[in-house]
Amino acid sequence: MSFRSGRHFLHVPGPTNVPDRVLRAMSRPTIDHRGPQFAELTGRLLTGLRDAFGNPDGDVIIYPASGSGGWEASISNTMRPGDRVLMFDQGFFAQGWRRTASAFGLEVDLVEHDWSLPVSADAVEQQLRYDNGAEPYKSLMIVHNETTTGVTTDIPAIRAALDAANHDALLMVDAVSSLGSMPLEQVEWGVDVIVCGSQKGLMLPPGLAFNSISPKALRAHDNASLPNAYWDWVAMRTQNQSGFFPYTPATNLLFGLEEALAMLFEEGLYAVFARHSRLAAATRAAVQAWGLRVFCSDPNAYSSSVTAVAVPGGVDADDLRAVILDNFDLSLGTGLGKLQGQVFRIGHLGDINDLMLAGVLSGIEMGLRLAGVEHQSGGVAAALEELASTAPTAPTAPSRPRADPQRIR
């Protein structure tokens, strides 16, 4: 690749831009993971993470792993061979979690599902009521925000469906691309296991996975019987209580995690979510002005962290992405699985602001033109209209309800 001046625009839906503050924190000299300084760090991290997950009195487990490792952890700690679990074909990442479950010998009922829609509470309730397996489902596994599609499922509604069906299954949620970008309240929402990774809303490089677990999930561990060593919650929890880990933790990523959590709390979690929501709205305004289609077909399910954009028939979205990368040094997400070539994905999550997004949308608008994709110009203008009318000092802003940045848990 030839020389590129200026900053690369990294707007795949994760990894996201790592802020300078986090990169600097990560460059601190590595310390002894069995020393007193480390124990204090662990304490601060677990407190912060519990707050971020809305799991203030529960347990958060930190793994040196990619987010996919969090899937394996959620399964190997709670299940027995042959256990039945319920999933919906929400997208590429739901399928990935399914593959892990199958590899561990679970019997997975994967319900067919329109990728452009969220999982509905009705469908969940119906599936649970008419569950006719020999054994009831041990777990319902839902992706909160499908990174493939930009569709967000309403987790409190899913919880209500479980309750309405009076079903005892664990509620497990993949929040890899929602944590730190949109509301997530484990205790309030009644979630048993949340799976997450470091490289999205947490603004870190990839390399950390998380399980945030409820007391009920922990009880399930007692009866679980799958092979469970690296991911063992109990070994982690026991060692964590004195500030240590059963094996060498990823020290420098943990330095970065401390700084990233500090940034999220400095801004205020709900202010962070409001920022993401506002940038997502501006993104959709641009897409609609271009005359392209937001892949998510339910306006109540629009994701705040990623927007998948369908390209017109006959266009290869990856050709468009290549034109944009070559001309404007902007990386967008590819279409995954069956959407390959049909959508491109804009990551608007993490350490991002209005003018960075304006740069992204400008790159896309110019790319559409250079690639010869039929569209109307004016997308950037529409986005600026949205951003300006909701800017801090915009005269009309007060009429728009805003989240309380001072929320204290």
Could you say which residues in the range 20-79 bind a copy of itself, by CB under 8 A?
A: 20, 23-24, 26-37, 63-69, 71-72, 76
Counting contacts by CB under 8 A, is residue 360 touching a copy of itself? yes
Region near a copy of itself per CB under 8 A, out of 102-110, 138-146, 160-168, 293-301: 102-110
Ramachandran area for residue 213 (φ above 0: left; ψ -120 to 50: alpha; else beta): beta
Residues 110-149 that bind a copy of itself (CB under 8 A): none
Residues 218-237 that bind a copy of itself (CB under 8 A): 226-230, 232
Q: Tell how far CA 246 is from the center of its chain.
A: 27
Task: Find the binder of a copy of itself among 6, 299, 314, 401 (CB under 8 A).
Answer: 6
Q: Which amino acid is at 55?
A: N
Applying CB under 8 A, the site for a copy of itself has a residue count of: 109
Any residues with CB less than 8 A from the CB of 298 and at least 6 apart, and which? 116, 117, 118, 151
Tell which positions 151-170 bind a copy of itself, by CB under 8 A.
Answer: none
In the window 238-297, what residues touch a copy of itself (CB under 8 A)?
A: 246-253, 263, 266-268, 271-272, 275
Q: Segment near a copy of itself (CB under 8 A), from 101-109, 130-138, 158-166, 297-305?
A: 101-109
- Closer residue to a copy of itself in complex, CB, 157/271: 271
Residue 95 lies near a copy of itself (rule: CB under 8 A)? no
- In the complex, the smallest distance separating the C-beta of residue 99 from a copy of itself, rounded to whole angstroms, is 7
Among 117, 123, 329, 403, binds a copy of itself (CB under 8 A): 329
Which one of 60, 287, 387, 403 is in contact with a copy of itself (CB under 8 A)? 387
Per the CB < 8 A criterion, the answer to whether 66 and 197 are in contact is yes
Pick the stretch among 128-136, 295-303, 306-314, 319-327 that binds a copy of itself (CB under 8 A).
319-327
Residue 21: Cβ-neighbour burial (10 angstroms; 0-12, 13-18, 19+): middle
Give how far the C-alpha of residue 18 lies from the chain's centroid of Cα atoms, to the nearest Å.
16
Residues in the chain: 409
For residues 257 and 200, what is the distance between their CA atoms, to the nearest angstrom?
A: 12
Interacting residues with a copy of itself between 366 and 385 (CB under 8 A): 366, 369-370, 377-378, 380-381, 384
**In this structure, are residues 105 and 138 in contact, taking their beta carbons and an 8 Å threshold?**
no
Q: Which stretch binds a copy of itself (CB under 8 A): 82-90, 93-101, 188-196, 283-291?
A: 93-101
Question: Phi and psi (nearest 5°) for 20?
Answer: -55, -40
Q: What angle do CA 310, 314, 318 make, to 5 degrees?
A: 60
**Closest CB 207 distance from a copy of itself, rounded Å:** 4
Interaction of residue 105 with a copy of itself, rule CB under 8 A: yes
Asked whether the beta carbons of 363 and 324 are under 8 A apart, the reply is yes
Q: Which of residues 187-206 bind a copy of itself (CB under 8 A)?
A: 197, 199, 205-206
Short-list 192, 64, 203, CA closest to 137: 192
Name which position in 133, 338, 394, 404 contacts a copy of itself (CB under 8 A).
Answer: 394
Which tokens go with 215?
């007391």
Which one of 109-117, 148-156, 295-303, 325-333 is the stretch in contact with a copy of itself (CB under 8 A)? Answer: 325-333
State the Cα–Cα distance between residues 137 and 108, nearest whole angstrom.
9
Query: Of residues 54, 91, 96, 150, which one binds a copy of itself by CB under 8 A?
Result: 96
Residue with the two structure tokens 């306006």: 299
Residue 177, classed as helix, strand or coil, is coil
Rounded Cα distance, 241 and 212, in Å: 15
What's the closest the beta carbon of residue 372 comes to a copy of itself, in angstroms? 9
The helix (H) or strand (E) run that includes residue 346 is: strand 343-347
By CB under 8 A, the residues from 332 to 351 that bind a copy of itself are 333-334, 351
Cα–Cα distances (Å) from 121 to 94, 117, 127, 194, 257, in that order, read 17, 12, 10, 19, 34
In the complex with a copy of itself, the residue whose CB is nearer, 272 or 280, is 272
Helix or strand (DSSP H, E) at 170? strand 170-174
Nearest distance from residue 148's CB to a copy of itself, in Å?
13
Q: For a copy of itself, which residue of 56, 82, 103, 400 counts as binding (CB under 8 A)? A: 103
